[in-house]
Every structure is written in C-alpha cells, then in structure tokens.
Amino acid sequence: MSRLLGGTLERVCKAVLLLCLLHFLVAVILYFDVYAQHLAFFSRFSARSPARVLHPAASSSTNCSRPNATAPSSGLPEVPSARPGPTVPVLPPCPDLPPGLVGRLLIEFTSPMPLERVQRENPGVLLGGRYTPPDCTPAQTVAVIIPFRHREHHLRYWLHYLHPILRRQRLRYGIYVINQHGEDTFNRAKLLNVGFLEALKEDAAYDCFIFSDVDLVPMDDRNLYRCGDQPRHFAIAMDKFGFRLPYAGYFGGVSGLSKAQFLRINGFPNEYWGWGGEDDDIFNRISLTGMKISRPDIRIGRYRMIKHDRDKHNEPNPQRFTKIQNTKLTMKRDGIGSVRYQVLEVSRQPLFTNITVDIGRPPSWPPRG
C-alpha cells in the first residue's frame, strides 16, 4: 500500500514539474516575441532620423544652384502659404471744425511771390493742384474754379494764401484756372460753367464747387470752403466795400454750390459779356428755385482784394440790367446745358490745373445814344 502511494505521488510530482517547465518555456517564447516587436518598432524611427539628417544638402542643392527650379513633387497637393497682404488703414472722418485753424490772418500783397516759393511752402500738394488730407477722410471733394485772364501776379498771391488755408481746413480739393483765350470781352459766368464741366471730366467725385475771383483772399481761415444744404456766399465783407455787403442781393466774388444745387439752377448764364450782372442773375436763379443763400458770420467773412487796373476788355455790359430782369424767362435755355466752348490746352502745373478755352465772341451791341 505504501509503495502504491509513493509511486502515485512521484508521478504527480513529475507531471507538475513538466507543467511548470512548459509554462516557463511559453513565458520565455512570449517574452522574446514582444521584445522583438519593440525592437522593430524603435528601429523604424532610428532608421528615419539619419535619412533626414544625412541628406539636407541633397534636398537643397537644387534650389541653391537653380533659384527658379521646381522641387520634386511628393504626390501630395500643394497648400499655398497664407501670407497676409498689406492692409489699408481706415482713416477717421475729418472733424467739422478742424483743430489746426488759425483764425484772423494778416494778408499783404507787397512781398515778392514767385511760384517756386509757393511750391516749396506746399509740399503736400500734388500735380494739378490736388490735395487730400493724410490723417482723415473728408466728407466732400471740392473743386475750386477760377475765371482767369492776364492775372498771373494775382494768381501767385492767391495760391500763396489759399493752399495753406484749404489744407488747414482738411479739404480734399483741386484748383482749376479757366483761362479765356484771346482778347475779346471777358465772360466770367461762362468760364465758371466751363470749369464745372471740365473738373467733372477729370474727377467725377467732385460734389462741391467753389467759384472764386483770383483777386480775392479770405482774411480768416474759419471761413470754411465747403458746401451745405443751401448755396453759400463766402465773400460777404470785402475791403473795397468797407467790409459790408454793397446790397442785399449781392452774390459776387466767392460763392459755393453743391453739384446738385448747381444743376438745379441750370448753372450760370452764358450771355453776360463784360463786367457785372452775372452774379445778380445767379442770385435770381437761386431764389426762383426756392433755395436760400447761406452766409458766414461777418467777422470771419472778410476778404482783401488785390488792387489792379480794370481790364479794357471787361467793360460793363450795357444790357445787363435788362437781362437781370428776365432771369425767369432765360434761365431754362441759358445755362450749363447750352454752354459752347473749345478746350485749347490742359496744363497740369505743380499748384493748379490750367485749362485754356475758346468761348467764342460776344454779340454786337447797338451803340448807346
């Protein structure tokens, strides 16, 4: 009996020993298998790194030798680089009352005034007399129209004073000198019509038009050259009239109308040859269309006039009083829609644009008895 139990126990122990040995062999096999997988995994990364390090020159040598060469395609779609373009700064609106205004100005016409000096004083003015404020966006684009002939001396003083004034007023503007060709009788209002049309041909953005005689200079830069809800008369107090209006309906010297207002009155009359009458006709046109004239305070609406000899070709129009009385009958047929002229030359000077025009000849008037 004891021998039987001893033999059985021996066989059980051998079986257990064999089972443990088998378990040990399986564990060893699994261990080496996992180790091999890990080794292969890390070998892939260690194999890639040297490839990138060993051949940097080879990948860049093509670009160095051939600046415009195309790199070999990798088969993947190219993604364009997102490079932000230059941004245009958005400027704030120009203030209604510019902060750099001086107020009352000392105006004198005795110092020599060459155009070269005026040009040096206004470096920001572009060719043709154009200017835009660099620090704000104006609400209007202003065309300043000057009827002109044989007044170069006056023009130099006008440019000397007006360019700094207009720049301080933060205006976007252009200066147009409308030069009447020939020696026939002067026609101020017709030249102003021409200036309106020619300025719009150059820049359709003009929406405010200032019509100024070349011999009138404002004495206060707070007299803002802008257009408003109503036509504007700027030169309300000239030194030659004792700094007061010569009469209630006076609209001469310097005035301003928006594009819509100018078209509403059919522009200015074309038939006033010689001195006087056209400004009264314009006053009548404004009144007949239901508009009212606005004026600055008399303290800032003062002007000095550059003295000059009267042009022998700008004598008073003998028929002006008759024409003024018939504005209601003539304004529809005589105006911006009927103006006829020929442009002879357009010259863009550093401080202004000169437009020389042939506006025809006046009709023959019967001699006064």
Q: Which residues are catalytic?
A: 213, 215, 275, 278-279, 305, 308, 310
DSSP reduced 3-state for 243: coil
**Rounded (5°) CA angle 245-246-247:** 90
Hey, what long-range contacts does 135-139 have (CB within 8 A, 24 or more apart)? 135/91, 136/91, 136/92, 136/93, 136/94, 136/95, 136/170, 137/91, 137/92, 137/93, 137/94, 138/93, 138/94, 138/170, 138/171, 138/172, 139/93, 139/94
Structure tokens belonging to residue 63: 């670009």
Buried b (16+ CB within 10 A) or exposed e, 179-213: bbeeeebbbbbbbbbbbbebbeebeeebebbbbbb
- Quickly count: other Cβ atoms within 10 Å of residue 318's Cβ: 12
Q: Are strands 302-305 and 216-218 parallel, antiparallel or unpaired?
A: antiparallel
- Quickly count: other Cβ atoms within 10 Å of residue 365's Cβ: 12
Structure tokens belonging to residue 110: 């005795």
Residue type, 156: R
Return the closest-CA partner of residue 344 out of 191, 203, 179.
179
